[in-house]
Structure 1
Amino acid sequence: MSDITRAGSDLIYELEDRPPFHQAMVGAITHLLAIFVPMVTPALIVGATLQLSPDTTAYLVSMAMIASGIGTWLQVNRYGIVGSGLLSIQSVNFSFVTVMIALGSSLKSDGFHEELIISSLLGVSFVGAFLVVGSSFILPYLRRVISPTVSGIVVLMIGLSLIKVGIIDFGGGFAAKASGTYGNYENLGVGLLVLLVVIGFNCCRSPLLRMGGIAIGLIIGYLVSLCLGMVDFSGLRNLPLVTLPVPFKYGFEFSFHHFLVVGTIYLLSVLEAVGDITATAMVSRRPIQGEEYLSRLRGGVLADGLVSVIACALGSLPLTTFAQNNGVIQMTGVASRHVGRIIAIILIVLGLFPMIGGFFTTIPSAVLGGAMTLMFSMIAIAGIRIIISNGLRRRETLIVATSLGLGLGVSYDPEIFKILPTSIYVLVENPICAGGLTAMVLNIILPGGYRQEEIFPAVRATEETD
């Protein structure tokens, strides 16, 4: 990249830069703080809802960390055609939580014991992951479908959907809602404190302070929460000292009926992965069109599928590229994929020693919400930048407006399409998928060969900006 482009960039360390070790560690820890709780939460939710034994739940959590480390290593190193070569962090896919709970509850009501339930859920997830692997090979032939407009809408919908998660955490999270403390002065005060600290440090001229802004905000928020008695250490009890992965520990069971449901969610995850990888390329100042972009896209989605195959074999829920880290890249200015190697190693180590990883789960939701609300909004802004990267003409305006309307509309009332068959409803009840599918269909059927009034001029992601 030219010096002029670098001068106009908000990045402190670009994709191939190698930060000094201490700065790389700050960047890695910041990413970990952003993803750790969301990474282990799906396993905790599934374990609690299905009333799995503490040992089984702890194993699912440990394997989620180890699989995330393996997946992140594959993504950032890019072995041949596998991996995006970007700072793409892998983590457990939240989209599977509801499906795993529904299928698991059905099996439990039929009298299945715990090991058979886990083996059935992971079995169909293992087979379903190959759908993602297969889809990666047809992505280069979908250039007309995967346009900057479509990718931008998916990224925008991801950001807007995550903002809801961030603001709920800001008020104390779902646990606070259940206990009646949601939105009290303590939660709002801590969340606001973290938000202000992150904003303040992000305005600093010092690269180190800017990179560490999120981590510093979370640490300050954690210490204040500790003084206020908001930190709960009960989840650290009875955790094993070391957990080693055992392939197919609970056996292997497969149901074609369950596969249809899980397979549908996997196809949805491909659309999310496309948006996430596009956003990562955008904030890393890499092309979001052309051969390099398509190569990274195919490699990233292929890694997504292979990592889910590995994860389900080890005993973790399926994984995907995490959107949260795009916000971290924008806030810290660190897009170096070499930082991803450190993240991968730390995740694997934390998975082997669950007591260390369990500490991160004690971070109060309000602390996380204070930082995440800002980071998730940055993802939405990245989506807007992608949409206008080629200019916003009347045709693109119609696509964006319709997709945004249906996507946000579904988020406000997910049951509007409940009359549809279950396999279709599972797709369109998700705002990301509803908006993304709408954009893809309109991008195909709306004519684009005529001259149109350009409402907004093109804004190139790699041009110098003031």
Structure 2
Amino acid sequence: MEKSKELIYGLNDRPPLRETLFAAVQHLLAIFVAIITPPLIISSALKFDLETTGFLVSMSLFVSGLATFVQCRRFGPVGAGLLCIQGTSFSFISPIIGAGMLGMVGGKLNTEMALSYILGACLVASVVEMVVSRLLPYIRKIVTPLVSGIVVSLIGMCLIKAGINSCGGGQVAMELGQFGSMQNLGLALLVLVSIIVFNRSGNRFLRMSSIVLGLLIGCVAAYFLDMIDFGRLEGAGALNIPLPFKYGLRFDLGSIIALGLIYLVTAVEAFGDITANSLISGEPVEGPVFMKRAQGGILADGFNSFLAAIFNSFPNSIFAQNNGMIQLTGVASRYVGYFIAGALVLLGLFPVVGQLFSLIPDSVLGGATLLMFGTVAAAGIRIIAATEISRKAVLVMAVSFATGLSVELVPGILDQMPELVKSIFASGITTGGLTAILANAFIRIKE
């Protein structure tokens, strides 16, 4: 397919070093906060210490670098061979926190046990996405855009609870009796408004860096309020050595099933992202070349999440926002991805990077994540709106949102259920997602 007229450099072009670095930095600005935010949210919810949180952030950066390289370089059938950037996925946060709660021993969370359950479930469930890549034409008939839109909306809606908890100050503020204080809510509001202001700017660099700048403003304000103590960084080591299976592996069937459903939906999302990336890059969006690329990209999505679990990180997925960056820069060269991958790996090797971001107060992070999660929910609504809203679609949405949000709003409804049932359906994303798939398959409307 001919190179798009809007592109400056096509997929296999090699831009000069200066332009390559310039494009790579812009991609990094667009993804950096999104990569480190899931481990920060999970660590806050499970009350991990600074050292563990910093290590998880570092490994998220390290694995995202490896995953991006696999996608861009393509190894045999693994990888899309496009400028596809991968990073830690928001979609898995809720079931991951649920899996981590299995580490409770005598009313206190055992960090190593919690992470072993999380990583064990992530490792096994990632096989679902790898299998889906081989069965792509058939899976797309089951997980339709309507189902994908419902699940994506539920992911955003269910995560808003975590976002608003962070805005109030998180677990630390609850224990100190300061949850929802004017100071915490004021910081969250400052960050949220700052991001919106920068995002509305006509300057593409300000818009691209809106989340980074919003967090920076919030951190400066928090520092002057004595909410950030840089003295806690004194114990940071010189280098993070990635250690496979550092926390071990434990397996819980309910957690594996819950995460497996998210992998199924993530595979369908990845297909959409690869289609958009191919289109923007001036590559085919149908035919055998495209299907090979899509299957390779989804296979890599699952493989990279498998790799993430080995290196003590959380599931990865293709980042859609980088497709917009290709449009903005006019650079679709996959060789840019090598520089992005290298930068992420290097950042992940230095403990001070992870620990520095671990110092961000919950209320500052909450202001950014609340907006991010709202955006995820809105993205799901856009997917739904692009489909035909028939009587059947209304029924599928109604029953899916009702069941999914019910277990989030009233978790006690499952207290009388067996432990396996509770572990599977405790997440509104899982409950609503399974309902959407079954309702879409079995509801028939007589005209």
Question: Normalising TM by the smaller chain, what interval?
Answer: 0.7 to 0.9
Aligned residue for 1:425? 422
Matches within 5 A, 1:306-385: 306-314=303-311, 316-321=312-317, 342-385=339-382
Task: Give the structure-1-normalised TM-score.
Answer: 0.75
2:148, 2:268 within 8 Å by CA — same for their partners in 1? yes
Task: Please give the secondary structure, in 2, of the residue aligned with 1:390.
Answer: coil
3-state SS of paired residue (2:342): helix
2:160 aligns with: 163
Shift of the 351–370 alpha-carbon distance from structure 1 to 2, 3 Å rule, reads same
Q: Structure 1, residues 339-373: CA drift from partner, whole Å, max 9, x if none? A: 76555333311221111222111122222222222
The 10-residue stretch of structure 1 (273-282 or 28-37) with the greater mean CA deviation from structure 2: 273-282
Q: In structure 2, the residue corresponding to 1:230 is in which secondary structure? A: coil
The number of residues matched between the two structures is 430
Q: Which residue of 1 aligns with 2:62?
A: 66
Counterpart-to-counterpart distance in 2, 1:96 and 1:47: 14
Q: CA RMSD in A?
A: 4.3
TM-score by length of 2: 0.78
Alignment match, 2:88: 90
Which stretches in structure 1 are left out of the alignment for 5+ residues?
7-12, 452-466
Decide whether the 8 Å contact of 1:71 with 1:90 is kept in 2. no
Aligned pair in 2 of structure 1 residues 279, 217: CA closer, same or farther (>3 Å)? farther
2:257 is matched by which residue type in structure 1? T
State the identity %. Answer: 33
Q: CA deviation at 1:202?
A: 1.8
**Equivalence map 1:57-456=2 (5 Å):** 62-75=58-71, 79=75, 81-83=77-79, 85=82, 86-91=84-89, 93-94=92-93, 95-103=95-103, 105=105, 126-233=123-230, 235-248=232-245, 258=251, 260-274=253-267, 276-277=269-270, 280=273, 298-314=295-311, 316-321=312-317, 342-447=339-444
Contact 1:39–1:91 under 8 Å retained in 2: no
Tell me which amino acid in the other structure corresponds to 1:384.
I
State the SS of the aligned residue for 2:386: helix
- Alpha-carbon spacing, 1:186–1:285, altered in 2? closer, same or farther (3 Å): farther
Q: Distance in 1 between matches of 2:291 and 2:147?
A: 14
Aligned equivalents of 2:375, 2:220: Cα separation in 1: 26
Asked whether the 8 Å contact 2:191–2:217 carries over to 1, the reply is: yes
Unaligned runs of 5+ in 2: none
Note closer, same or farther for the CA distance 1:326–1:378 as it changes in structure 2 (3 Å cut). farther
Secondary structure in 2 aligned to 1:264?
Answer: helix
1:409 & 1:60 partners in 2: Cα distance?
Answer: 31
Whole-Å separation in 2 of the counterparts to 1:403 and 1:114: 34
Please say if residues 60 and 317 of structure 1, whose CA atoms lie closer than 8 Å, have aligned partners that are also in contact.
yes
- C-alpha distance after superposition, 1:17-39 (max 9, x if no partner): 99874464244134212331422
Deviations 1:212-238 (A, max 9, x none): 222222212211211121213354242
